[in-house]
Amino acid sequence: MNNLKKVLSALVTCVMLLPGVSGKAVFKSSNDNVVTTHKVNVYDWDSLDGRIIGTIDVNEDLYRFISGDNLDLINYNNHLGFIEKNGIRSVSFSSDDTQYKKISELGYTTKEVNLRSYPDINSKVIQVLKAGEVVDGIAITNTGWALVRYQDTIGFISSNYINKLDFNKLEEQVNNLPQIKKMVVALKDVNVRHEPNINSETYGILKSGKMLTSLGSYDSEWLMVTNGTDIGYISKKYAKEKIIIDGVCYKHVYMCDDTNGYNNPFGEVVGIIPKYEVGFVYGETDFYYLVEIEGKVGFVKKSDVKEIDGKHVIVDISSQKMYLYDNLALILSSDIVSGKNTSPTNLGVYKIYSKEVNKTLIGPDYESFVKYWMPFNGGEGLHDASWRHKFGGSIYEKKGSHGCVNLPEKIAAEVYDNVGVGTKVIVKK
C-alpha cells in the first residue's frame, strides 16, 4: 500500500505542476476568425513546453477560441490545438460571446460522454470517453462547457459530466483496499543462503510450497527474501515470486475489449489485458476494480469489464485448462485439448445452448461419437474425447480438435451434471 500512496502523492504533485499553469497566466475570450501568417506548430497545451501535435501552413483559415499569454487556442478542420500568437492575425469577429475562465485541476468523467471539437452539442464528436476517464482541465466557459485535455487530445465536454478529482477521498478508498504482498514460494525444498552464492552458508531450508516475503530479484539467478528480520537468497531454479492479496475474491469479471491495466486508480497504464481475460476482484474504488489476473495484480476500470455471476465455465487456451465455477466456488478444473492451430477454438463469451448424450459429431473429415455434448458456439462445444489418452500441454497445437473443447470422460460427465442450457462459457487466451 505504500507504493499506492506514493503514486497518489505523485498525482497530487502533478496537479500543481500542470504545464502552462501559473498565478499570472490568464485566458481572454477571442472568438474570432484568424489566418496564419506563416507556418506554425500546433501544441497540446498552452505552453511552448507542450507536445507538438501538428503544423499548419501559411494562409490557413482558423477559428480562435481564446487568447493566452503566449499561445492561442484554435480550431482547424475540427481539430483543436494551441499555436503561437505571432503566427496568426485576426480577419473577422464571430457573434459567439462565450467567455473562458482558466482552470488548473484534474477531473474525471462521471458517465460516458462525448469529447467535442466545439462547445456545442451539435459539433463534431472527437472521441467518446467512458466513465472514470481522467482529464486535465484547461478552461471552463460561461455556457456550461469545459475545455480539457484527454491524453493527447484537446476537446470540449459538458461540465455536467466532470467532477474534480478528490484525492483525499481516493486515498481513503485506496487505504481500505486489501494489502498486496509479494512472496517467494519454494517449488521444492531449497536452501536459504546468507549470500547469493551456492557456497554461502545457509539459514536453513524453505520447504516446498512454503513462502517468504520477497525483496525482489537480486540478479538473473537469485531472489532476495526476508523473514522480517534477516535477509537471505534463494536460487530461482527452485522458487518463484507470487503475489498474495490479503483479502477475499468477491467477484469475477471479464474484459469487454483489450483493456488497460493500471498501477493505481487514475494512475499509469502498466499493461494491456487481452479481450475476454478473466479478473478476480478483491477490492474497488468508485471507478476501478483491484483484480488478480494469472498471478498479476492491478486495477481495471469498471466500465471496461462485465461481471460474471452464476455458474460459468472458463476455458483457458494458453494453459489448456478448464474451470467450472458456481459464482465464486470452484466446482472442478481439468486439463483439456482445444482446437488445433488451423481450426482454433474461437475466443469469446458464449452460452451453452443445448445438452445431449450419445451424440455423433459429424464434420467434413471426421465422425466422432461422444457421450456428453454441450455446444456453446455453433459447432464448438464441450465434450468427452475417449480416443485421447492425454490432455493439456501443447497437444492442441498440432493434434487439437476442429474447435471443440475435449475433456476426459469423467470430467465431461461432471460438467454435464453441473451445467444447464444458458450457462456462460468464457473462452480466453
Residue 67 CA to residue 102 CA, distance in Å, equals 11
Phi (first) and psi of residue 35, to 5 degrees: -135, 140
Q: Which three cell numbers stand for residue 120?
A: 456545442
Q: Residue 369: what pLDDT?
A: 95
Q: Which three cell numbers stand for residue 94?
A: 464571430
Residue 138 CA to residue 316 CA, distance in Å, equals 45
For the chain, the domains span 1-176, 179-246, 251-308, 311-428
Residue 336 CA to residue 320 CA, distance in Å, equals 5
Of the candidates 259, 184, 173, 179, the one whose C-alpha atom is nearest the C-alpha of residue 222 is 184
Domains 1-176 and 311-428 share a fold: no
How far is the CA of 390 from the CAs of 320, 395, 402, 406, 409, in angstroms?
12, 8, 17, 10, 12
What is the CA angle 300-303-308, rounded to 5?
Answer: 80
Of the candidates 11, 89, 76, the one whose C-alpha atom is nearest the C-alpha of residue 43 is 76
Q: The domain at 251-308 falls in which architecture?
A: Roll (2.30)
Residue 349 CA to residue 146 CA, distance in Å, equals 38
What is the CA angle 420-426-428, rounded to 5?
Answer: 155
Q: Residue 121: what pLDDT?
A: 94
What number of CA atoms fall less than 13 Å from residue 222's CA on the CB side?
Answer: 17
DSSP string, 206-260: EPTT-EEEEEEESSSSEEEEESSS-EEEEETTSEEEEEEEES---EEEEESSSEE
Q: Residue 357: what pLDDT?
A: 97
Q: Which residues pair with 93 in a beta bridge?
A: 32
Q: Residue 24: what pLDDT?
A: 38
Q: Which long-range contacts (CB under 8 A, 24 or more apart) does 186-190 make?
A: 186/210, 186/211, 186/234, 186/238, 186/239, 187/238, 187/239, 187/240, 188/238, 189/238, 190/234, 190/235, 190/238, 190/239
Q: The domain at 1-176 falls in which architecture?
A: Roll (2.30)
**What CATH number should be reported for the domain whose range is 311-428?**
2.40.440.10
Residues 6+ apart with CB under 8 A from 16: none
Express each pLDDT in 4-27 by its tens digit. Answer: 333 333 333 222 222 223 333 468
Q: Tell me the average confidence (pLDDT) per consecutive run of 10 residues in the chain, 429 residues long.
A: 34 27 60 94 86 92 90 90 92 88 88 94 94 90 93 91 90 92 94 96 95 93 95 96 91 95 89 96 94 92 94 97 97 97 96 96 87 96 96 96 96 97 97
Q: Residue 5: what pLDDT?
A: 35
How far is the CA of 96 from the CAs of 63, 143, 159, in angstroms?
11, 11, 19
Question: Residue 24 CB: number of other CB atoms within 10 A?
Answer: 5
Q: What is the pTM of this model?
A: 0.75
- CA dihedral defined by 363, 366, 370, 375, rounded to 10 degrees? -30
pLDDT above 70 covers a percentage of the chain that reads 94
Q: Residue 73: what pLDDT?
A: 94
Q: Which residues pair with 293 in a beta bridge?
A: 296
Residue 347 CA to residue 70 CA, distance in Å, equals 52
Distance of CA 209 to the CA centre of its chain: 31
Residue 88 CA to residue 37 CA, distance in Å, equals 5
Express each pLDDT in 225-246 by its tens digit. Answer: 999 999 999 999 999 998 889 9
Residue 201 CA to residue 206 CA, distance in Å, equals 14
Q: Are 294 and 429 in contact (CB under 8 A)?
A: no
Instruction: State which CATH number among 3.30.450.20, 2.30.30.40, 3.40.640.10, 3.40.630.30 fits the domain covering 179-246.
Output: 2.30.30.40
Q: Are 225 and 231 in contact (CB under 8 A)?
A: yes
